[in-house]
Amino acid sequence: MAVINKIIHSSVVDGPGNRAVIFLQGCNYQCLYCHNPETIGTCTLCGACIGHCPAGALRIYNGAMQWSEKICCGCDSCIQICPHLSSPRTKDYSAKQVMDAISGDIPFIRGITVSGGECSLQRDFVLELFRLAKEQKLSALADSNGSYDYTRDEELLQVCDGVMLDVKAFDQEAHMKLTGKDNKMVLKNAVFLAECGKLEEIRTVIVPDCLPNEDTVDRITKLLKPYLKERSIRYKLIAYRKFGVRPPYNDILRIPKPSEMERYKRIAENNGFDDVVII
Ligand code: SF4
Ligand code: SF4
């Protein structure tokens, strides 16, 4: 079983083609710019959200949160008030139940992507889900912050078609400041996954004046350049946006100008990357 924040039945921005995306609850990073901060934590059943729900869609019953999807108006008051970076709208699913939930999508999608939160925290569920996806001839991708040691999990990589890896900062100190964790495993994974042809994409959120963006783009593309001969690796440069970001960071962090994004794109291209996308 896994705690799922939500399932999106059709997405064209979470890997190649049209895909179903499963957002798992829980993350071991606490990025200042997180756009889905309600996926980071675990619900403690503190009850703080219940009185803030204008629809009366929440209650604690038999030691569990009950959310009535039917009467929920989607106002998001509950996730804004939650002091634990969680949501009362999560659900527990088995891998089979997720496949059942997306069964109607299968004729229209190329594959599935697990995202989050950090999907690798619920690794056994992901393994089972990917196995079931393969039985349906669907490709299976993981969107990961790179903190999990993929080098020691051949079993998972056998059923995973690729990892979309966040390279939030190349510099250790900057990564620590942003996420609360160092990036040694991220960089180890970047090289390992590129070596074995499982690095589907790398992505960096560009936040001017907060992160050493130029240093990150330059050094990660130089590090991965030798592997581009075997397989093209997409580099997605993501302009920081305020949407969903929690206070006070939503007021502190600056949105980059298009000219800044273009400059970083040129750095990656000059280092040999021919598939650089700005979003
Ligand atoms: S979702 Fe958040 S506010 Fe609501 S009960 Fe759980 S921890 Fe408390
Ligand atoms: S989004 Fe949350 S607060 Fe708003 S109606 Fe739904 S459960 Fe209630």
Three-state secondary structure readout of the chain: CEEEEEEEEEECCCCCCCEEEEEECCCCCCCCCCCCHHHCCCCCCCCCCHHHCCCCCEEEECCEEEECCCCCCCCCHHHHHCCCCCCCCCEEECHHHHHHHCHHHHHHCCEEEEECCCHHHHHHHHHHHHHHHHHCCCEEEEEECCCCCHHHCHHHHHHCCEEEEECCCCCHHHHHHHHCCCCHHHHHHHHHHHHCCCEEEEEEEECCCCCCHHHHHHHHHHHHHHHCCCCCCEEEEEECCCCCCCCCHHHHCCCCCHHHHHHHHHHHHHCCCCCEEEC
The residue whose CA is least distant from atom 5 of ligand 2 is 72
Cβ 87 under 6 angstroms from ligand 1 = yes
- What local confidence, expressed as pLDDT, does residue 48 receive? 97
Dist. CA 29 → ligand 1 center (Å): 19
Mean pLDDT of 31-54: 96
Confidence category of residue 275, pLDDT binned at 50, 70, 90: very high
Q: What pLDDT, in 10s, does the model give residues 209-263?
A: 999 999 999 999 999 999 998 889 999 999 999 988 888 888 899 999 999 999 9
pLDDT attached to residue 244: 87
Section 128-148 average pLDDT: 98
Predicted pLDDT of residue 49: 98
Q: Is the pLDDT of residue 47 over 90?
A: yes
pLDDT classification of 103: cutoffs 50, 70, 90: very high
Residue 122 has pLDDT above 90, yes or no: yes
Among 3, 39, 45, 80, name the best residue to mutate to test ligand 1's pocket (greatest count of ligand atoms within 8 A of Cβ): 45
Output the CA 79–ligand 2 centroid distance in Å.
8
Looking at residue 250, what is its pLDDT? 87
**pLDDT exceeds 90 at position 185:** yes
Confidence band, pLDDT 50/70/90 cuts, at residue 145: very high
Q: What is the pLDDT of residue 248?
A: 87
User: Average pLDDT over the chain, rounded to whole?
Assistant: 96
pLDDT bin (cut points 50, 70, 90) of residue 124 is very high
pLDDT value of position 230? 85
Look at residue 240 in the predicted model and tell me its pLDDT.
97
Residue 45 CA, ligand 1 centroid: distance in Å: 5
Work out the average pLDDT over 70-79: 96
Residues with CB under 6 A from ligand 2: 52-55, 57-58, 67, 72-78
Quick one: what percent of the chain has pLDDT higher than 70?
A: 100
